[in-house]
């Protein structure tokens, strides 16, 4: 039977997508070895329902092409999730009328859920429940992707606390394209702790899914046209909220709960109210904070969520408040900024949505002082307090990797094997460029791979700058050589990663990556920023909340993040990857194997 995921196909595809010729590969022994070891992703028979699993709620989920009105004139062709409840509470699924987004799914903690996914696309797909702690076979790993016309059955119990999560496709190398064309939706978990707080609900709790999209003059979506749109991530020039342009909410003068999700493939936002009112945050990715926090602005990277308390009481009828994205710098390399010349640059100042007070009311709920409690892990609770699991970000002009390797099925490294029911200390860092450097892995092999990449990176840079941009060849070569040397020296040592690598070229390549881990939420222990990188960092650093439970963390250039993550209950493959979905599809993804 034909399998689209066979070894040669993946390899050829990687080569053509990355634009790398054999010449460049000759300088990348590490990468070449990784690719030799690459295994074909087997095509499994789609999972069937287990008659012994007694579902409390059973949902049919379809994904298929559709047309929706977004602008006046022609409708926009999209890919869309739709759903219906087969059994259980009818309000488990609610539509967002007129939106290409999938319906809102509402689950209760402790519920047993069965979901029948029908693939009505013309290519493979699989759905992942981003944020949910489910068995590996239920997690939407690309290994379980189904062909057009096939059906896949998921069965799991909701173990998560109350939280806003995301369901979206996760097929190998085509995740970004499917999400971009519309396949995504919000999935809420509710629990008793949340219910007891009496937070604004019903009409006073508003989902806000922020996405950027690019349209042609026929109102049709435009996606990646050049390699650099993958390298930097793809950026649209229209901001859509819940699938609508120029989104406006009409509110009463009272408190609301805004459930915000960045569903963009690459765009990072710096959200702030336009009148200077600070943002009151009551929750992040993994649910409610212990107590509310107030911030002048909040950074929100792809895959991240924010639970915001927005109190409009005291505001006059007819008054308006705009949620903007404010200026910031550093998330793209300066070369990337030049290539990304859209009319809505990342880090520029633009409106995201508008709130209009249309009715004056006298009553409003009060913000609770304390919201929730959860176990806070200490480093002493971890199995590896002195040897964090490394997540090394490597950037090259033509490849984005983690721990020096592109995604490959069945390519688990020693440090990617995690004992089940352990709690792990982990460290995300820039293996090149940032100049920070932590001998985190103590893994000579991984470091060797990264050294190999350093060489490839240098060559890639030189060619890209010379040909693609028509810029001074001297500059391109200079940068390439700087990085290449760094890589060689580093590889030669075969020791700790990244130490003292803060060379000029490396810094220029560095960009921000929202790193996401499947499975249970993690807790951020500390962040540190490399010398010389503080200037850009200061434009974003007041916009992080590290006191909550997270599954996606924005890692700025030159930044290292230490975190603690439990790997409880389930064995098997759990991905970690960049949630810049273009990066993910380029291979900036790896598996942990929980054993």
Distance CA 447, CA 490 (A): 7
Specify the residue, 206 or 575, whose C-beta has the smaller distance to ligand C2O: 575
Give 297 or 570: the residue with its C-beta nearer to ligand C2O: 570
- Verify binding: residue 583, ligand C2O, rule CB under 6 A: no
Q: DSSP string covering 346-374, please?
A: TTS-EEEEEEEEEE--S--PPPPS-----
Least separation in angstroms between CB 575 and ligand C2O: 5
Closest CB 424 distance from ligand C2O, rounded Å: 18
Q: How many residues bind ligand C2O (CB under 6 A)?
A: 11
Applying CB under 5 A, the residues found at the interface with Cu ion are: 130, 513, 518, 578, 580, 583
Question: Could you tell me which stretch among 73-81, 118-126, 452-460, 575-583 binds ligand C2O (CB under 6 A)?
Answer: 575-583
Q: Pick from ligand C2O, Cu ion, none: which does 270 bind, CB < 5 to 8 A by kind? A: none
* Residue 250 to residue 176: CA distance in whole angstroms: 32
The Cα–Cα gap between 513 and 525 comes to 18
Least distance in angstroms from the C-beta of 428 to Cu ion: 11
Please give the residues from 166 up to 205 whose contact with ligand C2O meets the rule CB under 6 A.
166, 168, 170
Partner in contact with 580, chosen from Cu ion, ligand C2O, none, beta carbon below 5 to 8 Å by kind:
Cu ion
Q: Is 417 helix (H, G, I), strand (E, B) or coil?
A: strand
Q: Note whether 303 binds ligand C2O by CB under 6 A.
A: yes
Shortest distance in whole angstroms from residue 232 CB to Cu ion: 10
Expressed in angstroms, the distance from the first to the final Cα of the chain is: 31
CB-based closest residue to ligand C2O: 130
Distance from C-alpha of 331 to C-alpha of 326, rounded to nearest angstrom: 13
* Among ligand C2O, Cu ion, none, partner that 168 touches (CB below 5 to 8 angstroms by kind): ligand C2O
Q: How far is the CB of 162 from Cu ion (least distance, A)?
A: 18
Looking at 575, 586, 588, 594, which residue binds ligand C2O (CB under 6 A)?
575
**Helix (H) or strand (E) run with residue 36 in it:** helix 29-36
The partner in contact with residue 578, picked from Cu ion, ligand C2O, none with C-beta cut-offs of 5 to 8 angstroms by kind, is Cu ion
- For residues 389, 480, 11, 575, the Cα torsion angle rounded to the nearest 10 degrees is 20
* Closer Cβ to ligand C2O, 168 or 172, answer by number: 168
Cβ partners under 8 Å of residue 483, min gap 6? 432, 454, 457, 458, 461, 503, 505, 506, 509
> Count H helices, E strands: the chain?
12, 31
CA 152 to chain centre: 24
Residues 558, 545 contacting (CB under 8 angstroms): no
**How far apart (Å, rounded) are the C-alpha atoms in residues 1 and 53?**
32
Q: Which two tokens stand for residue 312?
A: 């409009």
Compute the distance between CA of residue 240 and CA of residue 442 in angstroms, rounded to an integer.
Answer: 45
Q: Which is nearer to Cu ion, 5 or 175 (CB)?
A: 175
Contact partner, 170, from Cu ion, ligand C2O, none, Cβ < 5-8 Å per class: ligand C2O
Q: Across the strands, what pairs with 513?
A: 555
Measure the CA–CA gap between 340 and 343, rounded to whole angstroms.
9
In whole angstroms, how far apart are CA 267 and each of 318, 407, 577? 31, 22, 16
Q: Closer to ligand C2O by CB, 179 or 399: give it.
A: 179
Residue 175, classified by CB atoms within 10 Å of its CB into exposed (0-12), middle (13-18) or buried (19+), is buried
- Report the alpha-carbon angle 366-369-373, nearest 5: 125
Q: Which of residues 107-136 bind ligand C2O (CB under 6 A)?
A: 128, 130
CA 199 to chain centre: 27
| Residue span binding ligand C2O (CB under 6 A) among the ranges 62-70, 164-172, 194-202, 322-330 | 164-172
Q: Which of 179, 529 has the CB closer to ligand C2O? A: 179
518 binds ligand C2O (CB under 6 A): yes
| Nearer Cβ to ligand C2O (302/491) | 302
| Region binding ligand C2O by CB under 6 A among candidate stretches 114-122, 256-264, 490-498, 573-581 | 573-581
Contact string 263-292 vs ligand C2O (x = CB under 6 A): ------------------------------
Q: Which residues bind ligand C2O (CB under 6 A)?
A: 128, 130, 166, 168, 170, 303, 516, 518, 575, 577, 579
């Amino acid at each position: 039977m034909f399998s689209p995921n066979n070894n040669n196909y993946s390899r050829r595809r990687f080569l053509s997508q990355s634009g790398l010729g054999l010449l460049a590969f000759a300088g990348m022994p590490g990468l070449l070895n990784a690719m030799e070891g690459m295994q074909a992703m087997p095509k499994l028979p789609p999972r069937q329902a287990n008659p012994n699993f007694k579902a409390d709620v059973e949902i049919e989920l379809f994904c298929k092409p559709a047309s929706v009105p977004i602008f006046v004139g022609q409708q926009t062709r999209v890919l869309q999730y739709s759903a219906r409840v087969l059994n259980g509470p009818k309000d488990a699924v609610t539509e967002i009328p007129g939106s290409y987004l999938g319906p809102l799914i509402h689950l209760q903690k402790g519920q047993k859920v069965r979901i029948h996914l029908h693939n009505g696309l013309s290519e493979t797909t699989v759905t992942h429940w981003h944020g949910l702690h489910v068995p590996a076979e239920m997690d939407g790993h690309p290994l379980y992707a189904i062909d057009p016309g096939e059906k896949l059955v998921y069965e799991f119990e909701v173990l998560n606390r109350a939280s806003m999560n995301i369901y979206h496709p996760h097929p190998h190398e085509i995740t970004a394209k499917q999400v971009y064309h519309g396949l995504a939706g919000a999935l809420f978990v509710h629990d008793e702790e949340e219910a007891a707080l009496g937070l604004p609900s019903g009409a006073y709790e508003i989902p806000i899914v922020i996405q950027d999209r690019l349209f042609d003059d026929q109102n049709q979506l435009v996606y990646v046209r050049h390699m650099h749109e993958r390298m930097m991530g793809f950026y649209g020039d229209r901001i859509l909220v819940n699938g609508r342009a120029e989104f406006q909410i009409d509110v009463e003068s009272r408190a609301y709960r805004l459930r915000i999700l960045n569903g963009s493939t690459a765009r990072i936002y710096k959200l702030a109210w336009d009148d200077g009112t600070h943002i009151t945050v009551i929750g992040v990715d993994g649910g409610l904070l212990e107590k509310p926090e107030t911030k002048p602005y909040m950074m929100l990277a792809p895959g991240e969520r924010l639970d915001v308390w927005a109190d409009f009481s005291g505001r006059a009828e007819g008054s308006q408040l705009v949620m903007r994205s404010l200026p910031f710098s550093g998330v793209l390399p300066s070369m990337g900024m030049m290539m990304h010349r859209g009319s809505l640059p990342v880090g520029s100042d633009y409106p995201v949505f508008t709130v209009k007070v249309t009715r004056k009311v006298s009553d409003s709920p009060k913000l609770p002082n304390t919201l929730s409690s959860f176990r806070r892990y200490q480093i002493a609770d971890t199995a590896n307090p002195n040897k964090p699991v490394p997540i090394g970000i490597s950037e090259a002009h033509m490849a984005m990797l983690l721990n020096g390797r592109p995604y490959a099925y069945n390519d688990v490294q020693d440090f990617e094997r995690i004992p089940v029911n352990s709690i792990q200390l982990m460290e995300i860092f820039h293996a090149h460029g940032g100049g920070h450097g932590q001998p985190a892995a103590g893994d000579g092999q991984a470091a060797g791979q990264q050294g190999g990449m350093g060489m490839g990176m240098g060559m890639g840079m030189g060619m890209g700058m010379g040909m693609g941009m028509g810029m001074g060849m001297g500059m391109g070569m200079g940068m390439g050589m700087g990085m290449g040397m760094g890589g060689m020296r580093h590889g030669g040592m075969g020791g700790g990663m990244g130490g003292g690598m803060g060379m000029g070229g490396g810094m220029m390549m560095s960009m921000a990556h929202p790193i996401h881990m499947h499975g249970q939420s993690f807790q951020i222990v500390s962040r540190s920023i490399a010398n010389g990188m503080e200037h850009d960092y200061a434009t974003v650093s007041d916009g992080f909340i590290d006191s909550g439970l997270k599954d996606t963390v924005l890692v700025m250039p030159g930044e290292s993040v230490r975190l603690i993550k439990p790997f409880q209950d389930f064995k098997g493959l759990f991905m970690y990857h960049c949630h810049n979905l273009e990066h993910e599809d380029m291979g900036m993804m790896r598996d942990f194997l929980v054993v």
